[in-house]
Amino acid sequence: MSAGFQLGVIGSLALSVASSVAIVICNKALISTLGFPFATTLTSWHLMVTFCTLHVAHRLHFFEPKAIDGQTVILFGLLNGTSIGLLNLSLGFNSIGFYQMTKLAIIPFTVLLETIFLNKRFSESIKLSLLVLLLGVGIASITDLKLNMLGSILSGLAIATTCVGQILTNTIQKRLKVSSTQLLYQSAPYQAGILFATGPFVDQLLTDRSVFAHKYSAPVLGFIVLSCLIAVSVNFSTFLVIGTTSPVTYQVLGHLKTCLVLSFGYTLLHDPFTLRNILGILIAIFGMALYSYFSVREGKKKSANDALPVSQMADKEAEPLLATKDNNDTKKANGLSHDC
């Protein structure tokens, strides 16, 4: 893995964390302080502004769009738009604790889907670090677990569409060799379209208020514009992170954002904070550190194996012909450990 690529990955992770924390704080002020609760409609505006920004960037020759199969782009855009809508509905029809459980379930479900359909293998070390991470986030963020049938169904659909959408993001970028900017530029209009069409109805269902009847004061308009501008960075960095790493890494990063938002909420917005929150955040950070360590270590092993000279590969292929049965069994076991 080249130094330039590593710096690019670190930069995309940092951009994703910074922009996501910023937009959460901005939206919290918009929704809680200024009384603008129309989250789904706001998200459609985010995506429309993102597309317009990318279109201007294209016209200024900052990047060149790449043609992608129309059916793939439309289905991909609709799936991601539906995922966002279902997550908002899940939040509206469930308790905060059950909604947090929904978000936590995305990681193991993504691992399961990648294992079954993409034949991807996760080592025991990676699984352990993810378990520690989920435990920490659960302790820090889950408050109650009130269940209801409709809310559970919406949560299940939200988990499924979110996981499939993130896996498709990674798969499309790598198989079609398109950049995060090119894929976002192609799919943003469809994501924005489905949310723009359904957002006002979803928001009215959840809030009993109409986005069209809301009084748009100067502070509300200012925070909406600021939220849309930050969203350009959020959307871009999301596609960038998933394209350069993996859907699981992106979900791990998402839980880091959760911990940071809880911390910023306490320090900047003076939200209630308990010893349990602090303990959970520390456990989650430890789990993220373990995940990063094991991911980097296994990545280096894979890179070393991929970079093995042809002559050495030939020697290793010839070794079993001269080795005893015990040595063959040992080499096979080592080979399996690299695949995990």
pLDDT at 196: 93
On whether residue 199 sits in a domain, the answer given is yes
- DSSP string over 185-245: HHHHHHHHHHHHHHHHHHHHHHHS--TTSS---HHHHHHHHHHHHHHHHHHHHHHHHHHHS
The token pair at 115 is 């294992």
pLDDT confidence band for 185 (50 / 70 / 90): very high
Is the pLDDT score of 334 beyond 60?
Answer: no
The token pair at 16 is 């994703």
Is the pLDDT score of 77 beyond 80?
Answer: yes
pLDDT at 340: 41
On whether residue 89 sits in a domain, the answer given is yes
Higher local confidence (pLDDT), 52 or 149? 52
pLDDT at 5: 56
CA distance 338 to 340: 6
Task: Determine the average pLDDT of the residues in 286-303.
Answer: 76
CA distance 233 to 169: 17
On whether residue 279 sits in a domain, the answer given is no
pLDDT in tens, 106-139: 888 888 888 888 888 888 888 888 888 888 878 8
Is the pLDDT score of 265 beyond 80?
Answer: no
CA distance 251 to 162: 10
pLDDT confidence band for 325 (50 / 70 / 90): very low
Give phi and psi for 214, each to the nearest 5. -70, 145
pLDDT at 19: 84
Provide the CB-side half-sphere exposure for 65 (13 A, CA).
17
- Please report, in angstroms and rounded to a whole number, the separation of the first and last CA atoms in the chain: 19
Task: Determine the average pLDDT of the residues in 92-104.
Answer: 76
On whether residue 338 sits in a domain, the answer given is no
Task: Name, of 104-113, 121-130, 188-197, 318-327, the range with top average pLDDT.
Answer: 188-197
Is the pLDDT score of 95 beyond 80?
Answer: no
On whether residue 102 sits in a domain, the answer given is yes
Q: Which of 33, 95, 96, 18 is nearest to 269 (CA)?
A: 33
pLDDT confidence band for 306 (50 / 70 / 90): low
CA distance 247 to 105: 13
The token pair at 325 is 């049965």
On whether residue 123 sits in a domain, the answer given is yes
pLDDT confidence band for 2 (50 / 70 / 90): low
pLDDT confidence band for 42 (50 / 70 / 90): very high
Exposure class string for 267-302: b at 16+ Cβ within 10 A, else e: eeeeeeeeeebeebbebbbebbebbeebbeebeeee
pLDDT in tens, 140-174: 767 666 767 888 898 899 989 999 998 998 889 88
pLDDT at 147: 67
Task: Name, of 185-189, 258-262, 307-311, the range with top average pLDDT.
Answer: 185-189
Taking the alpha carbons of 90, 29, 224, 12 in that order, is the dihedral positive or negative?
negative
123: left (phi over 0), alpha (psi -120 to 50) or beta: beta
On whether residue 19 sits in a domain, the answer given is yes
CA distance 204 to 216: 17
Average pLDDT, the chain: 78
Q: What is the largest CA-CA distance in the chain?
A: 82
Could you give the 3-state DSSP secondary structure of residue 99? helix
Task: Name, of 179-183, 283-287, 328-332, the range with top average pLDDT.
Answer: 179-183
On whether residue 209 sits in a domain, the answer given is yes
CA distance 295 to 249: 9
CA distance 277 to 142: 9
Helices 180-207, 39-59: crossing angle, 10 deg rounding: 160
Domain that holds residue 26: 11-130+146-243
| Residues found in the chain | 340
The token pair at 226 is 């600021």
Looking at the chain, the whole-number percentage of residues with pLDDT higher than 90 is: 21
Q: Is the pTM of this model over 0.95?
A: no
pLDDT at 266: 61
Here the contacts of 51-54 (C-beta below 8 Å, separation 24 or greater) are: 51/185, 51/188, 51/189, 51/192, 53/232, 54/181, 54/184, 54/185, 54/188
